[in-house]
Structure 1
Amino acid sequence: MGKIFVLDNITIDKIAAGEVVERPASVVKELVENAMDSGASAITVEIKNGGIEFIRVTDNGKGIEKEDIPKAFLRHATSKIRQIEDLDTVLSMGFRGEALASIASVAKVELITKCHDELMGNRYVIEGGVKKELEEIGAPSGTTIIVRNLFYNTPARRKFLKSESAEGGHIADILEHLALCRPDIAFSFIMNGKTKFSTAGNNDLKEVIYRIFGRETAKEMIPVSYEKDGIKMEGYLGTPVNNRPNRNYENYFINKRFVKSDIIAKGIEEGYKAYLMQHKFPFCVLNFEMDTHNLDVNVHPAKMEVRFHNKQDFYDFLSGAVRETLQAKEMISDCVVSEPVKEKFHFDSSPQPFETNRRISEDLPAQNFTAEISDKKDAIINAPKEEHAENNIGDTDTSDNDFFVAKVLDSLSLGKENADIHKNVIKEKEHIFVEKDYVISQKPVQLSLFEEEERVLSEKARKNFTLIGQIFESYWLLTYGENLYFIDQHAAHEKVNYEKLMKRYRDNAVVSQQINPPIIVSLSPKEGIWLKDNLTYFLNLGFELEAFGGNEYALRAIPLELYQNDPKDMFLSALNELVEAVPDKAPDVITDRIATMACKASVKAGKTLSRAEMEELLDELLKLENPYHCPHGRPTLFSMSKYEIEKKFKRII
């Protein structure tokens, strides 16, 4: 008897499901993408117990016709493509026809759907790949899919799931990316009965960023729109102060599809290179529109990995676009003093998926106003304050309602003794701007810097700066208008030196300092071979070398800026970095080496400078295109407004 058997369809489906359904988040991703493809304008996702026991996805899309319902759960049944050539132009989120079949084979699935032009809907139940029920029922237009007991029939898969909170976190992450790539769809995510986040579906990407990541993140975003050679990039770049410790906040999409790509990540980070310190990563939300013939999304079952037909061109486009966008903006960090707790009022901002007119509820929590009249001041001051957790999971079923504070105070009928509170509240509200249905606090100083045609840090604006002096033998104080500026003398000098060295390197016009007598340097065979093949790199940096026999070289000159440092140590450290670098990374190592040279040649903290020296260095700093950060990403300066200073002295409450 033969030993090779053909597996039955149910077993095949369970095995194949492992490629598509890895965890509850995979189920949510597939179902929500189907809802997006159905033309839905509102999608609600509800989960319980991390999605292991219960997932419900509801949309108001076009629905599924009765005769298509059983076919939708067959493997490789799809309405998205007809032939292999369609893969070259596919724009829908799904196209393989595997999702529903895979989910139904490892869970208990219930589908309720109704097309817009039909009077009745249909309910379909399938468990473990076996049809259980199909009946007509009354239902709203659209589709609801309920998935229960995931992996109930494959216990080996179920035991490898993480905790309920961890699985819920993966689902939240998926939904956040989907909401960011489609701001025109109203998303609502409910976990264990609590709304985690919701979006309005008004096609305002910044509103979605605010809803998911909070006010502090949303206000530190720079809009970007860049188009070249048939590729269009739109979205938001975070300012350098909006940096993160990992790449998890680099959100990018191609043709509104969330993808993962080393090329995109490296291109973004290259554009930010002059603005961020090492081991810091940017926050961004970017969508790329491009011809589908230039990439392949059919790489992995999750459809999150892409391949570019011309990686280098795309990398150059992306890094250049990011760099140009950042260079066009002032990058001055402002110092915000600690403030008293501001008046906060909560209102339900969660958009309901099928509600035609979304509105902000002005109903206030009764428990905040149960104090006696004499205690109303404290009740207002201590009202709940909104919190936005950076892990994207924090409850957001209530939001700020600063805009209605004046109305609330009036409704409380406060007496004359509290009139000053009302005035102060109104004064604070002058520094609030409203963007559609959300409120974002914007610092007046930062707003003015971004809106002024004349840059604050520019040669033209130099005459408006007044140098006060040096403090702690490390920092300078300057004034410009109603702002106080703090400059780090080492970072500023380092930036000036770096730009000088880079210009000389690019122009092949480096200045060297002769060493007499020459320094003899002994190299290993590997170092000797590499130096011989790449001697041009060192000549362009300003080193002069001559073979001295065997593996020894005579170091006759070094870059002028490094003359005060140990020439041999500087040369060997640069050589070691270049030897260890892969060939195509050598230019990056050269740039890093120039940054190190600039650092070592710069005035150090703790050194007293004369007024003339400070004025001269300030002149040079303001001539630079990017004077905001040193080559290693540290800020060269930050500002503090007169408004913030007066708040510190309680002149403004």
Structure 2
Amino acid sequence: MAIQLLQNDVASMIAAGEVVERPASVVKELIENSLDAGANSLNIEINQSGLGSILVSDNGHGIPFTDTKLLFNRHATSKLVYAEDLQVITSMGFRGEALYSLGSVANVSVLTRNQVDNQGSYLEIAPNADRKQELRGASVGTTIIVRNLFETMPARRKFLKSPKAELSRIQTIIHTYALSHPNVRMTLKSEERNLFASPGTGILQDVASAVYGGTLTSPLINLNAQDNDEVHITGLIGPPGLHRGNRSHVSVFVNKRPIYSRSLLFAITEAFQGFLPVGRYPLAILFIDIKPSEIDVNVHPTKSEIRFRDESLVFRNLQRAVREALITEAPIPQFDMPPIQKPYSVGLQHNPHIINPRKPPDFTLFNIPSTVFDNKIAEQSHGSLDQFPDISVIGQILETYLIAEGIEEIYFVDQHAAHECVLFEKIMQSSDRRFTQSQGTLEPSVVNLSPTQSEMLESRLATFNQYGWVIEDFGKHSYLVRAVPALLKAKNPSVALIEFLDSLLADEKRGTWEEQIAATYACHSAIRAGTSLEIREMEELLILLKSTIQFHTCPHGRPTLIKIPKEQLDRNFLRR
């Protein structure tokens, strides 16, 4: 086929396909126009999941009558004039393609009035039809109605999702812009049903409550961090006990523009490392304010991707801001007991797993001087002193969990996770020589590894030796173990190495290599579930946990302690 110019209507439909992918794309473009017009109130009405009609009305400054003749022209925009303006874009839109694209794939009507005009302007455009324009009475602001979307593009309609799925995408778009502009009131109706209302109070917590509703079971943590006037990061993050199975509750805005960035999402999830269980994701609403000249938003027609002049600077600042807020503010997870339907009748009997708190200790496991003890957990600690609860040990159950009493709550402590947390911090601070000392074996042990294990060991052999292993290559995927770390001396050397490598492989994507190996070391050295502890040892463990900087979880993300408030117990025992 010979090369030829595309017909105007074909070229328009192709261009529209880049901007208007589905009904949610229409809502996005129209909301951005309203925000750029200075609106503080938006009403969105949807019929047939957007394929029937989409109405967006606002109280912005409207379009002057003198500009309306260019309203549906391609590349006609009030946002910029010169190429240099692309370097300092502050508006949501700037391409001048939204209304032009909509006019190619739907019937579009616009009623708008600027405060300098006595009357409003009404315009109508449809594919393959003449433009209609007239004067009408109107309030200051703009109302745009899009009807019969993709009616001339049956192929595009065929590839849309179900009506319910398309409506869900529209709701997500509206939620996103409500979060990015908490000072703007937004409402959504579908088939005359009220689906959403953002209060427009300017308080982000209010909008978060409107968006996420009853899923916000805990107060959110405020975040405010600035770095030499270059990057300013604000927003809200969920406490460690509030997590999700995917990243759908993580929203990032750059200069109030919602963006998708794998790098920044990774920075946020890495900042939560150690606070969340493995495979879980946080709730975060984060705003990055940066000079417009430091970013390029002209990357994709949907404007959902941007480039940073110095992405590593933004990454570091974002990760540090989130991490510091968590360490400073994160509360202890609360366990909500399910309500008891009817009282239980149980007989009292001796339970060998509950240790008598008056039983005198006859040995110590953690080597802390006895002078630091009284019946309460000692106050000589650092780091998380202001956060750690004031608790007294009651005993141990199931040789796995410690029970402690607070002022108005009961705490359960996972002894393995707590000890693992303590050991991890000691290893990372290199404060204990035991973590790098070796214990020689009577005879070298030959270990045969899988190719994956072998590759892991070979690439980090020097680091292994720094942490107390003495390992030599002994042929293809085989190694001689001549010494093991002192704290692992009780284990079979071959078994210890294989377990160590498997743990590292399972945790390969979390943190730096040093953090991975320290976490594995801590896990394999910590006291295990099934280990009976004396009261003095329980007290020692809680003193050590209290002295850590981040006591909420072990390095693999499991919580170290949870609490049950007295009022929860009262409800379950029908006292209130």
| Pairwise CA RMSD | 3.0
How many angstroms apart in 1 are the aligned matches of 2:272 and 2:535? 33
Does 2:395 align with 1:469?
yes
In 2 relative to 1, CA 507–588 (structure 1 residues): closer, same or farther, beyond 3 Å? farther
The residue number in structure 2 matching 1:608 is 532
The residue number in structure 2 matching 1:180 is 179
The 5-angstrom pairing of residues 31-46 of structure 1 reads: 31-46=30-45
The residue number in structure 2 matching 1:373 is none
The residue number in structure 2 matching 1:624 is 548
The residue number in structure 2 matching 1:494 is 420
How many angstroms apart in 2 are the aligned matches of 1:256 and 1:572? 49
What does the per-residue CA deviation read over 1:564-594, in whole Å, with 9 as the maximum and x for residues that have no partner? 3343244346557879999xx7963442343
- 1:42/1:187 contact within 8 Å kept: yes
In 2 relative to 1, CA 165–549 (structure 1 residues): closer, same or farther, beyond 3 Å? closer
In 2 relative to 1, CA 233–580 (structure 1 residues): closer, same or farther, beyond 3 Å? same
Q: Which amino acid in 1 is paired with 2:110?
A: L
The residue number in structure 1 matching 2:107 is 108
How many angstroms apart in 1 are the aligned matches of 2:318 and 2:433? 25
The residue number in structure 2 matching 1:151 is 150
Stretch moving more, 223-232 or 531-540: 531-540
Count of residues in correspondence between the two structures: 537
- 1:252/1:287 contact within 8 Å kept: yes
The residue number in structure 2 matching 1:134 is 133
How many angstroms apart in 1 are the aligned matches of 2:216 and 2:187? 20
SS at match of 2:512: helix
In 2 relative to 1, CA 579–329 (structure 1 residues): closer, same or farther, beyond 3 Å? closer
The 5-angstrom pairing of residues 335-350 of structure 1 reads: 335-338=335-338
Q: Which amino acid in 1 is paired with 2:428?
A: M
The residue number in structure 2 matching 1:516 is 442
In 2 relative to 1, CA 491–508 (structure 1 residues): closer, same or farther, beyond 3 Å? closer
SS at match of 1:625: coil
Q: Which amino acid in 1 is paired with 2:49?
A: G
- 2:434/2:487 contact within 8 Å kept: no
In 2 relative to 1, CA 62–246 (structure 1 residues): closer, same or farther, beyond 3 Å? same
The residue number in structure 1 matching 2:82 is 83
- 2:278/2:558 contact within 8 Å kept: no
Does 2:541 align with 1:594?
no
- 1:47/1:190 contact within 8 Å kept: yes
The 5-angstrom pairing of residues 572-591 of structure 1 reads: 572=498, 588-591=512-515
The residue number in structure 2 matching 1:482 is 408
Q: Which runs of 5+ in 2 are unaligned?
A: 342-379
CA shift, 1:600, in A, is 2.5
- 1:35/1:61 contact within 8 Å kept: yes
- 1:40/1:60 contact within 8 Å kept: yes
Q: Which runs of 5+ in 1 are unaligned?
A: 342-453
The residue number in structure 2 matching 1:198 is 197
Stretch moving more, 229-238 or 466-475: 466-475
What does the per-residue CA deviation read over 1:254-309, in whole Å, with 9 as the maximum and x for residues that have no partner? 00000000111000011000111111001100110001222221111100011222
The residue number in structure 2 matching 1:242 is 242
The residue number in structure 1 matching 2:286 is 286
The residue number in structure 1 matching 2:308 is 308
In 2 relative to 1, CA 281–551 (structure 1 residues): closer, same or farther, beyond 3 Å? closer
How many angstroms apart in 2 are the aligned matches of 1:306 and 1:490? 44
The residue number in structure 2 matching 1:503 is 429
How many angstroms apart in 2 are the aligned matches of 1:35 and 1:527? 57
How many angstroms apart in 2 are the aligned matches of 1:127 and 1:325? 52
CA shift, 1:328, in A, is 0.2
CA shift, 1:39, in A, is 0.5
CA shift, 1:50, in A, is 0.6
CA shift, 1:563, in A, is 2.5
How many angstroms apart in 2 are the aligned matches of 1:572 and 1:532? 13
How many angstroms apart in 2 are the aligned matches of 1:617 and 1:508? 18
The residue number in structure 2 matching 1:345 is none
- 2:421/2:554 contact within 8 Å kept: yes
Aligned mate of 2:469, from 530, 543, 547: 543
CA shift, 1:157, in A, is 1.3
What does the per-residue CA deviation read over 1:625-645, in whole Å, with 9 as the maximum and x for residues that have no partner? 111111121111111222333
SS at match of 2:96: coil
How many angstroms apart in 1 are the aligned matches of 2:505 and 2:242? 35
Does 2:224 align with 1:225?
yes
CA shift, 1:647, in A, is 3.0
Q: Which amino acid in 2 is paired with 1:65?
A: P
SS at match of 1:131: coil
The residue number in structure 1 matching 2:260 is 260
The 5-angstrom pairing of residues 325-344 of structure 1 reads: 325-338=325-338
CA shift, 1:459, in A, is 5.5
- 1:274/1:632 contact within 8 Å kept: yes
- 2:389/2:406 contact within 8 Å kept: no
- 1:561/1:598 contact within 8 Å kept: no
The residue number in structure 2 matching 1:448 is none
In 2 relative to 1, CA 336–576 (structure 1 residues): closer, same or farther, beyond 3 Å? closer
In 2 relative to 1, CA 307–605 (structure 1 residues): closer, same or farther, beyond 3 Å? same
Q: Percent identity between the aligned chains? A: 37
SS at match of 1:184: coil
- 2:426/2:432 contact within 8 Å kept: no
- 1:459/1:619 contact within 8 Å kept: no
The residue number in structure 1 matching 2:361 is none
CA shift, 1:338, in A, is 4.6
What does the per-residue CA deviation read over 1:117-166, in whole Å, with 9 as the maximum and x for residues that have no partner? 32211111100164331111111110000000001111111221111111
What does the per-residue CA deviation read over 1:320-370, in whole Å, with 9 as the maximum and x for residues that have no partner? 1111110002431223345699xxxxxxxxxxxxxxxxxxxxxxxxxxxxx
SS at match of 2:241: helix
SS at match of 1:240: coil
The residue number in structure 2 matching 1:299 is 299
Does 2:567 align with 1:643?
yes
CA shift, 1:620, in A, is 1.0
TM-score (norm 1): 0.77
How many angstroms apart in 1 are the aligned matches of 2:458 and 2:153? 62
- 1:104/1:129 contact within 8 Å kept: no
What does the per-residue CA deviation read over 1:522-556, in whole Å, with 9 as the maximum and x for residues that have no partner? 56899878756643221232212245578754322
The 5-angstrom pairing of residues 14-29 of structure 1 reads: 14-29=13-28
How many angstroms apart in 2 are the aligned matches of 1:228 and 1:595? 30
- 2:270/2:511 contact within 8 Å kept: no
CA shift, 1:519, in A, is 1.6
Q: Which amino acid in 2 is paired with 1:127?
A: A
Higher helix share: 1
- 1:581/1:589 contact within 8 Å kept: no
The residue number in structure 1 matching 2:47 is 48
What does the per-residue CA deviation read over 1:27-51, in whole Å, with 9 as the maximum and x for residues that have no partner? 1100110000001010111101110
In 2 relative to 1, CA 195–480 (structure 1 residues): closer, same or farther, beyond 3 Å? same
How many angstroms apart in 2 are the aligned matches of 1:310 and 1:189? 38
The residue number in structure 1 matching 2:277 is 277
How many angstroms apart in 2 are the aligned matches of 1:27 and 1:463? 51
How many angstroms apart in 1 are the aligned matches of 2:515 and 2:407? 36
In 2 relative to 1, CA 330–461 (structure 1 residues): closer, same or farther, beyond 3 Å? closer
In 2 relative to 1, CA 535–302 (structure 1 residues): closer, same or farther, beyond 3 Å? same
SS at match of 2:248: helix
- 1:58/1:144 contact within 8 Å kept: yes
- 2:244/2:281 contact within 8 Å kept: yes
